[in-house]
Amino acid sequence: MSELTPKDPLQAAIFHALTAFERLSEAVAATDAIVGDKLCDDLRSKLNSLRTGELTVECFSRSEVDRLNAVATSLEPAMRRETHTWVVPDECSMSGGYEETATSPLGDALRNLHFACRELADQLSQVVKIQESGQIAVVLRQ
């Protein structure tokens, strides 16, 4: 572990969740800056739901993990729409050509937002697992 990471496993997991929350906040701001008013209402409400401002104790729950994973999953169709693939003919290639793929700036922003949602969900899940394992250990030791 780095010197900045606490040695207590629960505190370290919370530290990583806070770091992931900062990344999510940055991804929300970056996506919002790219799309401005062009965003559909559904995606706008998802961005607003992520813009909570702080990570509270209530966020360290399975329901919040599920919510973040649901938001990330709902971003996938928009990410696919912003990704374009085409075939480039190449007479020197045995297969006759190759594929190239490009993603629009919005697609890149959505991909970063998707990753940030998944990362925060994973980090919150780690905290929840540590809490639950502690509770189970107390019961089993009795």
- Kindly report, residue by residue over 75-123, the tens digit of the pLDDT: 999 899 999 999 999 888 788 888 999 999 999 999 999 999 999 999 9
Given a cut of 60, whether residue 16 has pLDDT beyond it is yes
Q: Partners of 86 in the beta sheet?
A: 100
83 backbone φψ class: left, alpha, beta (φ>0; ψ -120 to 50): beta
- What are the pLDDT digits (tens) for 19-76? 998 898 888 888 888 877 666 666 666 666 666 667 778 888 999 899 899 989 999 9
Residue 102 lies in a domain: yes
Q: Which helix (H) or strand (E) element contains residue 85?
A: strand 83-89
Number of compact structural domains in the chain: 1
120 backbone φψ class: left, alpha, beta (φ>0; ψ -120 to 50): alpha
Between 25 and 140, residue with greater pLDDT: 140
Residue 3 lies in a domain: no
Range of the domain at 55: 9-141
pTM of the model: 0.81
- CA-nearest of 66, 69, 63, 61 to 132 is 61
Residue 77 lies in a domain: yes
- What are the pLDDT digits (tens) for 112-131? 999 999 999 999 999 999 99
Residue 47 lies in a domain: yes
Tokens 């990753």 appear where? Answer: 115
Residue 4 lies in a domain: no
Residue 93 lies in a domain: yes
Residue 135 lies in a domain: yes
Residue 75 lies in a domain: yes
Residues in the chain: 142
| Distances 97 to 84, 89, 90, 93 between C-alpha atoms, Å | 17, 4, 4, 6
Give just the sign of the alpha carbon dihedral 86, 92, 95, 96.
positive
- CA-nearest of 24, 45, 9 to 117 is 24
